[in-house]
Amino acid sequence: MIGKSTEPPSFYRSQGPSADGREGFESLPTTASPWGPDSQHGGPPAGLLTRAIESLSDSVIGRFTMELLGPVPVDDLAVSASIVRPGRSVQLAAAELYDVARGRPVATARAWLFPASGAGPDQEQAAPAHGPEDGTSRERPAGWGGGYVDAVDWRWITGDLAEPGPGVVWMRPPDLVEDEEASPIQRLVTCVDSASGVSAVFDPREWGFLNTELTVHVLRPPEGEWLCLDAATTLSSGSVGMAVAEAHDRRGLVARSTQALLVQPRSG
């Protein structure tokens, strides 16, 4: 049986609906990025936006894109969502994540919703040749903060957070919202935003790989609590980079993701 000795806390605590129609959330310390306790890793906000979109319809998300408008603080947040293009076959949904203290949006998302009951041709699944039980648990790299990194259970097949180059890792995130089981797509987007870190080309203590967006094309909801991320980063000669990943469950491929990266040396 694979698992940590104690279950990590969730990423958020719901504060319920507000008068303006948004739902409020307390951001817990588990959301913090590796670079400091005051700003969040991109995974939990992606999950929160997905949760808001999923509440609009019984349809399934076929494509999800998050735009990060700035650092997401480890502070009170509010989220809202709406259908911006209704339809009988497909719908386009939008969501906004709002920094309550500063009175401004910090992230937005759009998602194409597809029928949940659609029947397609059966496709043979190519299951991964490994599972989380084959992976290795490793210590957090020196100089990295805990937060998200400590909250997620990592089982490395190849690579490491501190080892430059592509990486393959099984991930098991905690629940997104306290006392609420996260949906499969919420778990998926919470993990795939880690692709740029899993596959960092240079030492992330010397170079920053800030993703400005996350796009995920979903083939089907993942099954089970573990997700395998197979990630690689490509850099240009300038400030632009790209991280791509395939996400698998034990049955096979469930999604592909891309991230546009701002690559800059870290000051100090």
Mean pLDDT of 185-190: 98
Residue 8 is predicted with a pLDDT of 66
The count of other CB atoms within 10 Å of the CB of residue 129 is 7
The model's confidence at residue 143, banded by pLDDT at 50, 70 and 90, is: confident
Q: Look up the pTM and report it.
A: 0.92
Q: In sequence order, what DSSP letters do the residues of 174-198 get, joined into one string?
A: --SBTTSPPPHHHHHHHHHTTHHHH
Is the model's pLDDT at 230 over the cut of 80? yes
The model's confidence at residue 204, banded by pLDDT at 50, 70 and 90, is: low
Separation of alpha carbons 27 and 30, rounded Å = 8
The count of other CB atoms within 10 Å of the CB of residue 88 is 6
Using N-to-C axis directions, what is the helix angle for 184-192 and 43-54, rounded to 10°? 150
Is the model's pLDDT at 3 over the cut of 50? no
Separation of alpha carbons 8 and 17, rounded Å = 26
Residue length, the chain?
A: 268
